[in-house]
Amino acid sequence: MNTTIIDRMFWFGFLVTLGLLSVWIVISLILVNQSKRLIFKTERSFGVIPSVPYQQEYFFLSTGQVIDTWYFPNTDSETAILYLHGNSGRIPSFFPELMTKGSVLSPAYPRFHTSSGDLDQNSVYQTAQGALEHLKAKGFAEENIIVMGHSLGGSPAIYLGANHPRLKKVILINTFSSIYSMCKRTYGPFCEFGRDIFYNAQYARQTIVPVDMYHVRNDTTIPTQESEELYKHIKTDQKTLTILENWNHNAFSFEEIRFD
Q: Does any domain span residue 10?
A: no
Residue 205 lies inside a defined structural domain of this protein: yes
Does any domain span residue 91? yes
Q: What's the confidence (pLDDT) of residue 118? A: 87
Q: Encode 149-174 in three state secondary structure.
A: EEHHHHHHHHHHHHHCCCCCEEEEEC
Per-residue pLDDT, 63: 84
Mean pLDDT lowest for which of 46-55, 115-124, 185-194?
185-194
Q: Domain residues for 44?
A: 34-256
Cα separation, 41 vs 48, whole angstroms: 14
Angle of helix 179-187 relative to helix 224-233, nearest 10 degrees?
A: 140
- For the entire predicted model, the pTM comes to 0.88
Q: Does the residue 164 lie in any domain? A: yes
Binning pLDDT at 50, 70 and 90, where does residue 11 land? low
pLDDT, one tens digit per residue, over 55-98 is: 999 999 988 889 999 999 999 999 999 999 998 889 998 999 99
CATH number, domain at 202?
A: 3.40.50.1820
Residue 3 covered by a domain: no
The answer as to whether 28 is a domain residue is: no
Asked if the structure places residue 2 within a domain, the reply is no
Q: Would 201 be classed as within a structural domain? A: yes
| Count of domains for the chain | 1
Best mean pLDDT range from 1-5, 89-93, 225-229: 225-229
* Across 110-131, average pLDDT: 92
Choose among 10, 117, 106: nearest CA to 50: 106
Report the C-alpha gap between 176 and 149 in whole angstroms.
Answer: 11
